[in-house]
Amino acid sequence: MSTEVQRYSINGETMGTRYTALFYAEAGIDTSEIAQALAHVVGRVDQQMSIWKPDSDLCRLNAGPEQEWLSVPKELTTVLSAALRVSQQSAGAFDIAVGDLVDAWGFGPGEQSITEQTLGAAPPRAQLSASAALVIDPQRNQVRKRGPLNLDLNGIAKGFGVDELARCLEDFAITCYLVGIDGEMRARGVKPDAQPWVVAIEKPLRGVREVMGVMELGDAAIATSGDYRHWVDVSGQSYAHSMNPATGAPLCNPLAAVTVVAASCMLADAWATALMVLGEIEGPRLAQKRGMDALFVLHDGEQFKEISIVGGHLQAQIETRPI
């Protein structure tokens, strides 16, 4: 058997963006089966967890009756359970029961849009959080809603999709890869020349894409939450797409972006959102308490300020970069 390895690249569309898979494997292999499997796993996640597909399992759960056990796919059970854990560990900063708020602020699949006239009519915080309203039986892959609930998994589903890409490659005995959906990435192994995988950290600028820095990634995942991809401007005020469960409104704090490195992309994705919601003081404080790796980028006048936490330790140097 040949020991020569080759670099392969497979990509496609999913979740309104694109997925990529870069990997090294034996030279000359037929990648058609791998490509088909990758497309299948991300398509399955999208079909289960999209709020944009009326027939998705998530939309059927949202529309389902209350106080009854409803069967859901195993993958959806996994993501819902992880979401509730992060919610509990972040004191509710991460809450998937924000679907009504997302729709009301014009970021959901409906035709609602925020204007100066409707700004004051934005709905208040939902009475029940997902932790309070959702009961999960992971053994039977069933869930029960205690009350009205409109779940939105945009802060965690994409990360889970990246983990599924990784699992898929490993099913083919591929152990050197970098997979991603948009900016959420997961890596394993090193390249044949012993160099690590390198991923770009995007500068949180609206309307343009520039690299702010790079990070070496080995056997870990990375995800970023920010205010620069999806937003609306109303009467001179900018509103980002991430919701603050405590206020029932889009985030309003100095953070431009939070990047988290974790063992799984699902957790990196959820924690990036949670820390973004917590803000520039409580976010870094919780990241230190939990021993996390996180990078906070703050708006600071005409510059960006960075707060870096590695292994739960605040780094001595806080850099300031020009916008």
Q: Can you give the pLDDT at residue 252? A: 79
Structure tokens given for 124 = 């208040």
73 domain residue, yes or no: yes
The rounded distance, in Å, linking the Cα atoms of 98 and 45 is 20
303 domain residue, yes or no: no
Domain total of the chain? 1
Range of the domain at 126: 56-145
105 domain residue, yes or no: yes
189 domain residue, yes or no: no
195 domain residue, yes or no: no
> How many other C-beta atoms are found inside a 10 Å radius of the C-beta of residue 313?
11
Q: Can you give the pLDDT at residue 232? A: 63
Q: Can you give the pLDDT at residue 213? A: 82
CA atoms within 13 A on the CB side of 209: 5
CA distances from 233 to 114, 117, 119, 139 (A): 9, 13, 11, 45
Task: Write down how long the chain is.
Answer: 323
Q: Can you give the pLDDT at residue 243? A: 83
Strands (E), the chain: 5-14, 17-26, 69-71, 134-137, 142-145, 177-181, 184-188, 197-202, 211-217, 220-226, 231-234, 237-240, 243-244, 249-250, 255-262, 293-300, 303-310, 313-314, 320-322
236 domain residue, yes or no: no
| Interacting residues of 13 by C-beta distance below 8 A, sequence separation 6+ | 19
| Interacting residues of 143 by C-beta distance below 8 A, sequence separation 6+ | 61, 69, 70, 72, 77, 80, 134, 135, 136, 137
- Burial (CB < 10 A; 0-12, 13-18, 19+), residue 48, is buried
117 domain residue, yes or no: yes
The CATH number that applies at residue 96 is 1.10.3980.10
Q: What stretches in the chain show pLDDT beneath 50?
A: 1
What is the rounded (10 degree) CA torsion for 126, 130, 134, 140? Answer: 150
121 domain residue, yes or no: yes
